[in-house]
Chain A
């Protein structure tokens, strides 16, 4: 790399002229390059896939092993689908929280945002492309992981006679819904990232919202707890996974209704994030 003197004369060939305007398609390609070219993306997704599937299988194995001792008897009230998806749902939230935050905060902590916005100053386009690329990637990985976790879990639980199949009521909703839920949690983290612009601060905020807030609500008087819980963004996870009456929470909204609450918060946060991304100095 020791070219001391830059060549004189023509430095680079002339480019063919371009028509139109640089816009969304190029920025989407660019954001995809960004997300697939850093190791942290792979590490976090590998953790999600391996632990989401592995831990799910382990939980199902433990359940299968002690099934008769667990008092499920003939399987009444036992939710085999939820059992196989729990590990993925809990861990998926954590992983998507980190990935969603990093998709935007890494640009600020490294200073890359200034380079990014110099090459593409239309900030709304950059923000939308970033969110879109992250969201699509998160959903694809989630849906694949959720299906594998489900099928592996059910094959382990098969001997209990209480395992579920795709055609059972609510099962498909549980699998797709859980994948959608962790994706939306990732997008919520992305939005907080755009607002806070700092990785640790964003993740701390998300942990507060998803894991600390429910604990605080828990110590409220019980009639309050039920009313407040419905409006927490993290209440949808359990509702979406539940496929039998005994495992869903009757004090909450229905699965999709509860999911709507999470989506609602996320949309509001994404709009605030977009506004700040455009208005603030980079």
Chain B
């Protein structure tokens, strides 16, 4: 289990992570969400001992990362797939990593096979595409058969095939009972893979909850109704304490009232309904709402032009 307690990291005047505390439970896929510049990478660097925290502690199974007997057997981390010496072949790159932890050579071949890089094992990684570099990095994380895997923005810049591959891999790793800690600013990506979410904005914790709770917490769930008598229904709902507004396409959007209740009201008043749908806020919207105040660099964009990711 990874435990982050009161983690603070300052670079000069700039506070990258501010008093952050959370735990990552074993055997789950935990999504680490936040806008760019929220401190996700910094947090991961502190977990791995690459950066020293200004304050606070990070432990893995109760130990500091640097004190782990065989780090690669406990944590496999990929922060930057391009953080390799491009002049070295894929095989030699993995070999020099494996040797630090006394892992056998045949492990390197097995890992290359697993990620589908066997054919280019002797090629220098300089010429690799981002997708191939990503696979090479992932092969490195799997060498030591670690219980915990950490990936920083693993689908960033990948083509759809690469994204699908990573997604399946993370699911397969989780299915084996491993802990997967994965950061992203792509909310839609998390919706498909993560069980648990840790959301940060401007270096601070915004939410630490399950995926379901996170979506439920957002106030955005509403009921959409299509009816032949909208004016009548608006009044009936208002009488029961709800709030219905007419949309441009002839539908009503009802706030603060469950779909069942809306249906009951319509039934009692004899109003004919053509549609009755609960519209749940997507993770994307829930996220936008929660981090609205914590986006570091905001561009003024009209709501309709909101670009995913």
Q: Which residues of A contact B (CB under 8 A)?
A: 1-15, 18, 20-22, 25-27, 29-31, 33-34, 37-40, 106-107, 110-123, 279, 281-282
1/0 per residue, CB under 8 A from A, across B33-65: the answer is 000000000000100111110000000000001
Known: A4-B161, A21-B70, A121-B48. A111 touches B80 (CB 8 A): yes
Cβ of B69 and Cβ of A21 under 8 Å apart?
yes
Cβ of A281 and Cβ of B51 under 8 Å apart?
yes
Which of these, B50, B69, B145, contacts A117 with CB under 8 Å?
B50
Cβ of B102 and Cβ of A112 under 8 Å apart?
no
- Give chain A residues whose Cβ lies under 8 Å from the Cβ of B176: 9-11
Known: A119-B72, A121-B66, A121-B68. A22 touches B84 (CB 8 A): no
Q: Is the interface of A mostly helix, strand, loop or mixed?
A: loop
1/0 per residue, CB under 8 A from A, across B132-145: the answer is 10010100101011
> Nearest A residue to B119 by beta-carbon distance?
A1
1/0 per residue, CB under 8 A from A, across B91-129: the answer is 010011101111100010011001111111000000000
- Give chain A residues whose Cβ lies under 8 Å from the Cβ of B137: 115
Which of these, A15, A33, A122, contacts B99 with CB under 8 Å?
A33
State which of B164-172, B201-209, B260-268, B284-292 sits at the interface with chain A. B164-172
Cβ of A282 and Cβ of B102 under 8 Å apart?
no
Known: A1-B117, A112-B85, A114-B50. A15 touches B73 (CB 8 A): yes
Q: How far, in angstroms, from A113 to B80 measured CA to CA in the complex?
A: 11
Which of these, B52, B80, B85, B144, contacts A106 with CB under 8 Å?
B85
- Give chain A residues whose Cβ lies under 8 Å from the Cβ of B164: 4-5
- Give chain A residues whose Cβ lies under 8 Å from the Cβ of B82: 111
Cβ of A119 and Cβ of B71 under 8 Å apart?
yes
12 contacts across the A-B interface (CB closer than 8 A) = A1-B120, A3-B115, A4-B161, A11-B142, A11-B172, A11-B176, A13-B110, A27-B100, A118-B50, A119-B101, A121-B68, A281-B52
Specify which of A25, A34, A118, A121 lies most central, judged by the most chain B CB atoms within 10 Å of its CB: A118
Specify which of A4, A37, A282 lies most central, judged by the most chain B CB atoms within 10 Å of its CB: A37
1/0 per residue, CB under 8 A from A, across B68-90: the answer is 11111100010110111111110
B279: Cβ under 8 A from any A Cβ: no
Q: Is the interface of B mostly helix, strand, loop or mixed?
A: helix
Apart from A118-B71, A119-B100, A121-B71, list 8 A-B contacts with CB within 8 A.
A9-B176, A18-B69, A21-B70, A112-B83, A115-B83, A119-B71, A281-B45, A281-B52
> Nearest A residue to B129 by beta-carbon distance?
A1
Specify which of A1, A9, A21 lies most central, judged by the most chain B CB atoms within 10 Å of its CB: A1
Known: A15-B144, A21-B69, A110-B86. A4 touches B103 (CB 8 A): no
Cβ of B84 and Cβ of A115 under 8 Å apart?
yes
Which of these, B101, B116, B119, contacts A22 with CB under 8 Å?
B101
Q: How far, in angstroms, from A117 to B101 measured CA to CA in the complex?
A: 12
Cβ of A39 and Cβ of B116 under 8 Å apart?
no
Q: How far, in angstroms, from A130 to B79 measured CA to CA in the complex?
A: 23
Q: For residue B102, give the distance in angstroms from its CB to the closest CB of chain A.
A: 5
Q: For residue A116, give the distance in angstroms from its CB to the closest CB of chain B.
A: 8
Q: How far, in angstroms, from A10 to B145 measured CA to CA in the complex?
A: 11
B175: Cβ under 8 A from any A Cβ: yes
> Nearest A residue to B118 by beta-carbon distance?
A1
Cβ of A282 and Cβ of B51 under 8 Å apart?
yes
Known: A22-B101, A120-B100, A121-B49. A112 touches B142 (CB 8 A): no
B173: Cβ under 8 A from any A Cβ: yes
